[in-house]
Chain A
């Protein structure tokens, strides 16, 4: 009897362990099974590999924690646009990313040419590129453009997508109406003369109408565009696989396959690059730059329209005085931060744009590192012993670089001239929410530390125009200068690029002199590439042209 009981127990035990083992195995088996199908797919893609004989597959480690959702307005911010949006799709206009020695300019995309009416500057005509097809064979024409715009702008259309509209609608806020003229011509009418339209249109990408209608809500799992790469597959949190579009109207890419992997941890990205699992790492840790260089990796940097500033509270307190604002700008050791703290991953910023950009002003207030001058300015403004203030800063977040170390650096610099800054670190989403609601009324806050793209000239109106003062817009500091407003209005109505740039250059000078922000640094888009990646040009842009890249 006892013996039997014992046996029964042993049996129960064995059964338990067996079940546990089965669970583990079945889980593994599943993963393997799903993977095998993918492996089959990749094998066929691999067999068509390029003429050089090498496997033309590029694997990129992104900073995002997940793969971007590949709808026509991808998620994961501009990284999503960089690696998914502009690879799968085109806009009417695209970025020219082929040069590293000048800022990226706008070039014809799905529209070959465009003009504004001589009599009515609000009426734009776009002549569309002929013989372009989407990856599924659907022809690209005026109907496809109207379909794409309806998705975002026409709530009455059955193709309207409210969420997509929420994402991208603000890019079309100056568009009043649009219509088809013939199969390869469309017109867009803007609300008032608006010469910045082309910048807004770079973010409006076009998907295949057939595919969108067919897939409906599931479209983001089967995206179809006209871009240089075609969608193959994606696994949530793991990878997205794209393959070359042999028929790309702009010339087929040299790569056969592009694999995107989300690796949000910087040291994990570094390890993956060093161990050869990826060929391209976005923003590796700055302290690894020297080590990577000596191991033969290509370190890429270039300025691009990005700024890391403090948005000052001009409504009350010491920051109302322009001398105090200039003093803070003179107190910061930008060179030290860029080289010593960030190992060359940033470049000093003394105005919204960087030197070499068309909107950069050469005769603006220079803002060298000059603590003596800062102290003198503070004394003139009536603060010989400095003052106390609070800065709200993010803990992380896309584009914010290394906010904690950088803010501590600035804190030390300002302390040296008497400005005693209390740093309050706030998680990025919370900070953003608070920023949009303006400066807090119930406590003293001198500045918000944020970071932002300065790609489009509409940046000048959104952050500094009198008409955009909170709550009408996001000029939350309350900066106002009639001369500045006048320049921006002129720029917005000026269709000659050179003249427009001249206005914006003057606007930059006013901003530097009035110093509504403390300008700190521009990011340099740090990335590291394996030595076998050839042909990549690091542009002065947020985005990247991958058609010229090959593996050797």
Chain B
């Protein structure tokens, strides 16, 4: 098991290096100069040149990349060009907020998908299953930023039950307050994943239910709950894999949802940084997300391997 994880960790390095090169190049190819978001439009060419030199933008591209990579290896992600703060100071709190949102959405989606999916697989012809089926199809089709606005309209503006934006009530905070602020963004983020995961769970479980060993267990007179346990254990590797993949989709959809709910996550930070060509923030932000994504995949694979010996020895 340890060697499996180590091997996968070693494979991360070229992946991340590749990501860093692509991000670096992309920001150089895209037109737009970060100096413009720093100096007023009427600044003279000399003033611009001074700022450019101070940022190291006057060096050749390869040198710029080398310097940046050298610092990153030492854990120094540099300073934001526009906000005059260390990038880590901006990204880490934002990453934490995104993780809170994404994890809440993943757990919610997982639980709902499991319950609804299993139910629909057990009673495929019931009316409730048909309703769930329709709902899950609809949820896949709904754009989450649109759903977010509808949720705000109903639960914040009309009913006034839940706050519409931010992580905490202005000037105050606390875990209860945080959870209240978390409900709507979580619902909006989880939406499309719930649909996809429910359908996945249902098809997996119904596939297992048709297998011979289930008939054998039933014939033996094993209790239904015990059979369900067997079903889940057989289905879990597949379901977990889908959940892992959906985690990536959740991260992506949280970017839009963060904007609508003013959730101070990493998506918001990167979105603004792109607009201002604040390249140290964008580079570091994408790198951090890439690391999170790769690590997540690793965890899912490791868990999968732990549960399923066939994968471990492959």
Contacts and interface: CB of A to CB of B under 8 A. Distances in A.
Instruction: Specify whether A and B are partners.
Output: yes
B93 A236 contact: yes
Of B153, B179, B262, B275, most buried by chain A (CB within 10 Å of CB) is B262
Contacts of B157: 271, 274-275
B222 to A, nearest CB: 13
Contact of A170 (B44, B170, B268): B44
Interface string B63-92: 000000000000000000011110001100
Contacts of B43: 166, 169-170
Interface residues of A, number: 77
Contacts of B170: 57, 59, 239, 259, 261, 277-278
Interface in B91-128: 93-94, 96-97, 99-100, 103-104, 107
Given A69-B84, A163-B84, A429-B276, A264 B94 contact: no
A548 B240 CA distance: 58
Contacts of B41: 432, 435-436, 452, 474
Contacts of B94: 236-237
A12 B307 contact: yes
Interface string B138-162: 0000000000010011001100100
A57 B171 contact: yes
Interface in B258-298: 259-262, 264-265, 268-269, 271-272, 275-277
A28 B96 CA distance: 9
Contacts of B236: 13
A387 interface: no
Contacts, number: 216
Contacts of A462: 42
Contacts of A66: 83, 268-269, 272
Nearest to A259: B170
Interface in A72-128: 75
Contact of A31 (B167, B171, B260): B167
Interface in A235-280: 235-239, 241, 257, 259, 261-265, 267-269, 271-272, 274-278
B156 A239 contact: no
Interface stretch (A36-44, A297-305, A344-352): A36-44
Contacts of B3: none
A24 interface: yes
A458 B166 CA distance: 40
B228 to A, nearest CB: 13
A169 B85 contact: no
Interface in B14-57: 30-33, 36-45, 47, 50-51, 54
B178 interface: yes
B272 A166 contact: no
A220 B83 CA distance: 9
B211 interface: no
B31 A430 contact: yes
Given A69-B85, A163-B38, A170-B42, A267 B233 contact: no
A39 B174 contact: yes
Is chain B's interface secondary structure helix, strand, loop, or mixed overall?
A: helix
A31 B84 contact: no
Contact of A42 (B84, B153, B160, B171): B171
B100 A28 contact: yes
Contact of B103 (A23, A237, A276, A435): A23
Contact of A24 (B93, B104, B163, B276): B104
Interface in A159-212: 162-163, 165-167, 169-171, 173
B303 interface: yes
Contacts of B169: 277
12 contacts: A16-B303, A20-B103, A31-B173, A35-B178, A162-B50, A163-B51, A166-B54, A238-B167, A271-B157, A275-B156, A471-B45, A474-B42
Interface of B: 30-33, 36-45, 47, 50-51, 54, 82-85, 89-90, 93-94, 96-97, 99-100, 103-104, 107, 149, 152-153, 156-157, 160, 163-175, 177-179, 233, 236, 259-262, 264-265, 268-269, 271-272, 275-277, 303, 306-307
5 smallest beta-carbon distances between A and B, as pairs: A35-B173, A237-B264, A32-B175, A166-B51, A65-B272
Given A430-B32, A436-B41, A471-B45, 18 more contacts: A27-B103, A38-B172, A39-B173, A42-B172, A162-B54, A166-B51, A220-B84, A221-B85, A238-B166, A261-B166, A263-B166, A268-B259, A269-B165, A271-B165, A275-B156, A430-B31, A432-B36, A474-B41
Interface of A: 6, 9, 12-13, 16, 20-21, 23-24, 27-32, 34-36, 38-39, 42, 57, 59, 65-66, 69, 71, 75, 162-163, 165-167, 169-171, 173, 220-221, 235-239, 241, 257, 259, 261-265, 267-269, 271-272, 274-278, 427-430, 432-436, 452, 458, 462, 471, 473-474
